[in-house]
Amino acid sequence: MTWWRGLYSWMVPDARRRREPRGGAAETTPRADAASRREAAAAVETMLSYRFRDPCLLGQALVHRSHLHAYGDERIEANERLEFLGDAVLGLVTNAYLYLEYPDLEEGDLTRLKSKLVCGTSLARVAQRLELGDHILMSRGEAATGGRDRDSILADAVEAIIGAVYLDGGLAAAQGVIERWLFDHADDIIEHRALANDKSRLQEIVQARYRMPPRYRVLETTGPDHERVFTVEVLFGDRVLGVGRGANKKSAEQQAAGCALRQMAEKPSLLDEAPDHRP
């Protein structure tokens, strides 16, 4: 996924200049909570495996609007604008990842898969895994009412951090964070959120009836290295339910599952006739 890296890198210097006050950041008035913001930012930086050239960006990403109301300091900016930017960056990186990773999925399936990966619940789960809530600056009242565990606040903070990384290091840096935070766990999310595709539908049908999944087997691999074609069959017991071909094993498995679903629709007793379908 290198073809689009740096696509928007030309925007970063201008974006950084626009956000700095006249005369440079060093001339801004010291803030009462500067130490707490630096401490929170340092802890999150370790989780990110990314060191900011401009730590103020990360500090801003961790500021919830309730914190500003408590301090009454309108000069500090909350993380809402960074959240807006991070949402767009997250969408671009996720779309590119899904387009390349799942070449045989239709647009509708890609859209559904994206919604599982980047929905508020998934982003909040990322924040919970990193214990990000402990480092978000918010008012005592917000924290007392469960703000540090609230999905909306956690998801917004994740998007704001992505926006901050993008401004600080460009699209490649933001992609790295998103890959580590979300895509490393993409298979788990897809598996447990029941993406509406042929492979998951077939598994649901078979497991609901027999409490055991179908299995896939590669029959052959043909073609040159740059144009591989995989032929895969899906079996239940010893019965071949379907055969599929694709540019990789995942897409071939999808095709085989689709073939199996069509055959099962034409012959509902297909599973029952499998000679060895019992656990």
| Catalytically annotated residues | 87, 159
The angle, 0 to 180 degrees and rounded to 10, between the axes of the packed helices 249-266 and 198-210 is 60
SS3 210: helix
Q: Among residues 117, 127, 128, 121, which one has the least CA distance to residue 186?
A: 117
Q: Are 180 and 49 in contact (CB under 8 A)?
A: yes
Cβ neighbourhood burial of 114 (10 Å; 0-12, 13-18, 19+): middle
Rounded CA separation 166/89 (Å) = 8
Distances in whole angstroms, Cα of residue 2 to Cα of each of 85, 93, 175, 176, 254? 22, 11, 10, 12, 26
User: Within a 13 Å sphere around the CA of 169, how many CA atoms are in the beta-carbon half?
Assistant: 17
Helices then strands, counting H and E runs in the chain, come out as 13, 3
* Beta bridge partner(s), residue 113: none
The pair of structure tokens assigned to 195 is: 């993406």
β-strand 229-236 against 239-246: which pairing, if any? antiparallel
For the sheet containing 229-236, what is the strand order? 215-222, 229-236, 239-246
SS3 223: coil
